[in-house]
Amino acid sequence: MSLKRKPLSLSAKVENVEEEDTPELSVLDLPELVLECILERLPPDALFRMTGVCTSLRERCRSDHLWEKHMKQKWGSVIGPAAYREWQWHIASKTDLVDVKQGKQKGLMRILSLGWPFSWIRSRVDDHSQQRCSLPADSVMSWYLALETGRFWFPAQVYNRENGHVGFMLSCYDAEISYDPRTDTFQARYPPHGRRAVAIENGVPWERLRAPPIETPAHDLHMSDCLNELQPGDHIEIQWRRNKEFPYGWWYGVVGHLESCDGHENYCLCHNSDTVVLEFNQYTHGSRWRCTNISRRDHREEGNEADGFYGGIRKLRTKEEISTWKRLWPTEVLE
């Protein structure tokens, strides 16, 4: 059987010519502004994958300004200056990752070889080994990946530590934390105090964490700068510790009225008194933890071995801080 080839119509010929003459377009052919807008809208995993496409996209997709947005969105509530300093120390001390003095950089494959459990990272291992690209250890992308994989422990503060133990309700303590990407929670390590060893808590949710609002170390007295302005109704946090060997925790309370005051707004003169009443209303009436008085004029650390020691005070000035404490309020009154 002979097969005869049908002649192409004029329209078909034109289509073939157009197909042959039309060049293939690349994402890099997009206008600069359009490409930048696309990259800014990519989630972290997609942005990471794009670094394996080609050299040009690799340089673009690991730029700090793209990753700074993701850092702020996901980690901004728990990352503070103390965590940043810890990261700087971390990258400077890890000579197998970066030699700061000589400016040498190890490859991204060295970082990935630490065993980070991201499927979207593992899927690109072969591509990155072929490209032999390097990721600066001090880049924002490198910090993001270190946080995301849980390999980097950093200082933060934990509300209601040790799974909301009754002895720590409405308090906030310093800890080192690391992220668990499998559960989207954190592991917390609390420093030892007294005869007690390091305490470890797993499964800490995001809503029980914050970046330290001030720079005072856990064993140092915070120098209060708000005493002269405190008046009834103000929300405060005050340092408290069981004894001199313990670190301070921050405890939530409110400024109350003097016993001699009836609380009437038009006649209250409590704000003129040298004595400031602090109330901890999570405790029942009659509890020794319910109330304490401090001196407005010369307040330092006050207390004893029986009732613990009260330290510095910081006034809560934002609705967000106050609402966080109220959200953590115990379901039952404490003794």
- On whether residue 147 sits in a domain, the answer given is yes
Secondary structure class of 284 (helix, strand, coil): coil
Structural domain ending residue among the three candidates 152, 181, 212 = 212
Collect all residues with Cβ–Cβ distance below 8 Å to 281 and sequence separation of at least 6: 253, 254, 290
Region label for 248, one of left (φ > 0), alpha (ψ between -120 and 50) or beta (otherwise): beta
How far, in Å, CA of 307 to CA of 242, rounded?
Answer: 7
Examine the domain organization and report whether 52 and 85 are in the same domain.
Answer: no
At which residue do the structure tokens 């038009």 appear? Answer: 266
Examine the domain organization and report whether 250 and 291 are in the same domain.
Answer: yes
Examine the domain organization and report whether 176 and 151 are in the same domain.
Answer: yes
Would you state the pLDDT for residue 22? 58
Q: Which domain holds residue 56?
A: 28-62
Q: Which two tokens stand for residue 23?
A: 């060049």
Examine the domain organization and report whether 207 and 312 are in the same domain.
Answer: no
Tell me how many domains the chain contains: 3
128 pLDDT higher than 60: no
- On whether residue 314 sits in a domain, the answer given is yes
- On whether residue 125 sits in a domain, the answer given is no
Examine the domain organization and report whether 280 and 240 are in the same domain.
Answer: yes
Examine the domain organization and report whether 149 and 256 are in the same domain.
Answer: no
Examine the domain organization and report whether 87 and 200 are in the same domain.
Answer: yes
Examine the domain organization and report whether 243 and 315 are in the same domain.
Answer: yes
How far, in Å, CA of 310 to CA of 240, rounded?
Answer: 5
Collect all residues with Cβ–Cβ distance below 8 Å to 268 and sequence separation of at least 6: 232, 257, 261
Mean pLDDT of all residues in the chain?
83
- On whether residue 5 sits in a domain, the answer given is no
Would you state the pLDDT for residue 30? 79
- On whether residue 197 sits in a domain, the answer given is yes
Band of pLDDT at residue 10, cut at 50, 70 and 90: very low
How far, in Å, CA of 50 to CA of 60, rounded?
Answer: 9
Q: Are 96 and 110 in contact (CB under 8 A)?
A: yes
- On whether residue 98 sits in a domain, the answer given is no
Examine the domain organization and report whether 311 and 250 are in the same domain.
Answer: yes
Structural domain ending residue among the three candidates 212, 246, 276 = 212
Burial level of 193, CB count in 10 A (0-12/13-18/19+)? Answer: middle
- On whether residue 20 sits in a domain, the answer given is no
Q: What is the pLDDT of residues 285-321, one digit of tens each?
A: 999 999 999 999 989 999 998 889 999 999 999 999 9
DSSP 143-193: HHHHHHTT---EEEEEESHHHH-GGGTTEEEEEEEEEETTTTEEEEEEPPB
Examine the domain organization and report whether 176 and 284 are in the same domain.
Answer: no
Examine the domain organization and report whether 195 and 284 are in the same domain.
Answer: no
Examine the domain organization and report whether 85 and 157 are in the same domain.
Answer: yes
Would you state the pLDDT for residue 51? 87
Q: What percent of the chain has pLDDT over 70?
A: 80
Collect all residues with Cβ–Cβ distance below 8 Å to 45 and sequence separation of at least 6: 118, 120
- On whether residue 12 sits in a domain, the answer given is no
Q: Are 121 and 249 in contact (CB under 8 A)?
A: no
